[in-house]
Amino acid sequence: MEIPRRRLRLMSALLSALAMVIVVQLVKVQIVDHRFYKEWGREQRERSIAIADPPRGVIRDRAGHLLAGNGVRYSVEAAPVYVVDATAAATALSPRLHLPLGQVESQLRSDAPWALLAASVPKETGEEIASLGLRGITVRPQWVREYPEGSLTAYVTGFCNADGEGFYGVEGFYDDLLRPRTVEWHGPVDPSSEQIPWAVAPVVLPHPGTELVLTLDRTIQALAEEELSRSLAEFQAQGGTVIVLDARTFEILALVSLPDYDPARYGELYSTNPDLASDPAVSKQYEPGSVFKVLTVAAALDSGLVTPETTYQDTGHIEVGGVVVSNASHRAYGEQTVADILIKSLNVGAAWLSTQMGPDLFYRYALAFGIGRPTEVDLAGEVAGRMWLPDDYEHWHEADLATNAFGQGLAVTPIQMVTAIATVANDGARLRPHIVARRIEPDGQVFTYRPTVEAQVISTATARTLTDVMVRVVEEGVPQAQVPGYRVAGKTGTAQIPIPGGYDPQGTIVSFVGFGPVPDPQVVVLVKLERPRTSTWASETAARSFARLMGRLFIVLGVPPNDGLEVAGL
């Protein structure tokens, strides 16, 4: 009897010990490591899945016309393990996807857990395949960015890639706002990560990106594009830019550059000419040439140094800092007025003015006009231009004071130049140029852009005096820029193209910047043409383009002529 009793005790002890181990383990699992195991279990049965795939915010012009919207395409995917009849499925899919039968069938028979049959098929094809109800075949909708106006607004909109990232233009600048907010649902899911509706999930409404309404007018944009295209062909120029700005609000009404590209086919762009993607109006800097004389004369007039009637002796050349500056015609004009500096586009006169002012005053005004710094326009990729200042001992030379006065030795972007001239048209007040008029949030809230004065660069009186001189520039100096029935003001710019070691003798960049009608300017227009062949002078090329475009703009904007009520010869 001793042995069984001993065995019983031993067994009891062992069982007790085992029970103790179990109890300790239970305490450990249930109490000590409670949080860990609870979290582990939750992770296994719950997931965060995106249940709403809202679209990117759309972009419209000022009248509500769609410039960038969202189309739908489908990706066709397969889970080969669930495909019942690979041959039948491949026979059904192959002609619809325009893929070889063998390729589709081998994908459907593969051991891979997932196979992408087609990344992007048209909506109709996707819906047709979905309606076939093929087991193991998933048709997934996806957004694709569409640009209904095509290349017409390419540089304004920029483009958006397949991952929904915006580049260049408005797409790039406002990428964060345009991106939709993905709504995720967290809860129990089945093995295929599908939502299990154990509870009434909160109602999720799509939360698309912010809608942007631009200041751009697509009709004016089309006019500008048409005129630029005509000018490139007529003057055999390699490229060009046109900007139309509202003279009172600095709203961009049109912004065109050629050659351009189709933003919906941005992929082709990168394989052919990636440089074409950046917007020349904000990213490409050039020497402005004589257009800059307007700013030089503005500074001299506003500082009280001269009046339009002040005279100087034009000997045909002037030496500043060891560099001899000559007039473009290499002629000496004798006694000339300050107004003549603009009307006859005299380099010597401009250099004389800047040296009279001195570097401090001259560069203070140039900076106030926005030269050498970004305008902060709401378009991606803006560059600052280049203007060396006297405190930059490494780069600035005394001769720069003379050459800068007539737009040489510095670089500007078209948007900087048109903004500077618009400042004169706007009674001396410089505003920030902008292209977004208002944004509409998904909840319906509307935020409207209110233009603010960046700087009162010159007085109203100076601006009006200068405007009168610029009208004389058109009437007496560049009649090619005259618009029948309207008084317009403007200035030509013919600039050499800097190359290492000097200037390119072969070509020029010609431009004309002007506004009208005077005395109540509505629009400011910049026309810039690169390397025209029929003539290297702005007066024979860009000025003519300006006049034609301005004439049509006045009609479209409903601006009556200065004299009479009839406009002919359009």
Partner 1 sequence: MWFPAGVERMHWVRRSLRQGRSKVNRRAVLHLALLVALVTVLSVAYLMLVGGTAARGRHIQQLQAELFRLQRENEQLEVQIAAESAIVRLRERAKSLGFVPAERVVFVP
**Binding residues vs partner 1 (CB under 8 A):** 51-55, 58, 65-66, 69-72, 123, 141, 143, 146, 148-150, 152, 195, 197-201, 203-206, 218-219, 221-222, 552, 555, 558, 560-561, 565-570
Q: Given the complex with partner 1, which of 218 and 439 has the nearer CB atom?
A: 218
Q: Can you list the positions of beta strands (E) in 95-209? A: 115-122, 137-146, 159-160, 166-167, 183-188
CB of 218 to partner 1, least distance (A): 6
523 CB-near residues (< 8 Å, 6+ apart): 244, 245, 246, 247, 253, 515, 516, 550, 553, 557
Q: Given the complex with partner 1, which of 71 and 507 has the nearer CB atom?
A: 71
CB of 158 to partner 1, least distance (A): 17
CB of 508 to partner 1, least distance (A): 30
Place of tokens 């489908």: 74
Q: Given the complex with partner 1, which of 59 and 86 has the nearer CB atom?
A: 59
Amino acid at 359: P
Element (H, E) at 93: helix 86-97
CB of 195 to partner 1, least distance (A): 6
Element (H, E) at 95: helix 86-97
CB of 350 to partner 1, least distance (A): 38
Give the CA angle between residues 168, 170, 171 to the nearest 5°: 65
CB distance 418 to 256 below 8 Å? no
Residue 3: CB atoms within 10 A of its CB come to 7
CB of 58 to partner 1, least distance (A): 8
Q: Which of 496, 548, 507, 500 is nearest to 527 (CA)?
A: 548
177 CB-near residues (< 8 Å, 6+ apart): 57, 209, 210, 212, 439
CB of 210 to partner 1, least distance (A): 15
Q: Given the complex with partner 1, which of 221 and 492 has the nearer CB atom?
A: 221
Q: Given the complex with partner 1, which of 146 and 234 has the nearer CB atom?
A: 146
CB of 507 to partner 1, least distance (A): 31
Q: Given the complex with partner 1, which of 57 and 477 has the nearer CB atom?
A: 57
Q: Which of 138, 146, 161, 147 is nearest to 74 (CA)?
A: 138
Q: Report the 3 state secondary structure along 386-410.
A: ECCCCCCCCCCCHHHHHHHHCCCCC
Centroid of chain to Cα 215: 13
Q: Given the complex with partner 1, which of 111 and 566 has the nearer CB atom?
A: 566
Q: Given the complex with partner 1, which of 69 and 358 has the nearer CB atom?
A: 69
